[in-house]
Amino acid sequence: MSKVQNFNEKPENISLFYVKVKSCYDINQDFDISFECQQGTVLKISLNFTNENLCYVLAYPEKYVLWKNNYFLLNWNEKVLIFEIQNFRGSFECKINRTHIFNIYIRSYQNIIRVKVFGNVKIKKALLVNKDITHPYNTINI
């Protein structure tokens, strides 16, 4: 199953979005989340579930990744993955479920036009960047 989100307006950056997982038994396969511009993939995050609550993370392009943690624990009661990607002048800090995973430098982040999710997951919502990421006017329901 694949879900593609196309943005109607050019976002500065995607700062926070949720991936709702159907159930822990449905997630036997890995899944990828790609941020894409017209020229190709800007950032790709691959999640590899090794058991019911441990997940390893891979990121592309690898040469620009500074790892803080390459895994996180998932609380299956919530069935939600929360991705926080904060931009600090082209250097991005990525957190998954509040665990700092990596920092990465991306040049063409301004050109992100779509997010693709490959795997057995459903995207619940996405937010465009704002200083207050909880502000309801920035929510895109998909």
Q: What is the pLDDT of residues 17-72, one digit of tens each?
A: 656 655 544 555 577 888 777 888 888 888 887 766 788 888 888 888 899 988 88
State the Cα–Cα distance between residues 56 and 85, nearest whole angstrom. Answer: 17
Q: What is the pLDDT of residues 81-109, one digit of tens each?
A: 777 777 776 678 888 878 899 998 877 66
Q: Which two tokens stand for residue 50?
A: 């090794």
State the Cα–Cα distance between residues 139 and 128, nearest whole angstrom. Answer: 7
Q: What is the pLDDT of residue 105?
A: 82
State if pTM tops 0.75.
no
State the Cα–Cα distance between residues 123 and 11, nearest whole angstrom. Answer: 18
Number of domains within the chain = 1
Task: Give the torsion through C-alpha atoms of 120, 38, 66, 29, to 10 deg.
Answer: 10
CATH code for position 52: 2.60.120.200
Residue 37, domain extent:
2-141
Q: What is the mean pLDDT of residues 96-125?
A: 74
Label the pairing between strands 121-128 and 139-141.
antiparallel
Higher-pLDDT residue of 117 and 95 is 95
Q: What is the pLDDT of residue 26?
A: 52
Calculate the alpha carbon distances from 63 to 33, 43, 60, 86 in Å.
Answer: 18, 12, 8, 19
pLDDT band, very low/low/confident/very high, at 118 (cuts 50, 70, 90)? confident
Taking all residues of the chain, what is their mean pLDDT, rounded to a whole number? 69
Residues 69-97: b if buried by 16+ CB within 10 A, e if exposed: eeebebeeeebebebbbebeeeebbbbbb
Q: What is the pLDDT of residues 125-140, one digit of tens each?
A: 555 444 444 444 444 4
116 DSSP β-pair partners: 4, 34
Residue 15 has pLDDT above 60, yes or no: no
- How many other β-carbons are positioned within 10 Å of the β-carbon of residue 120? 16
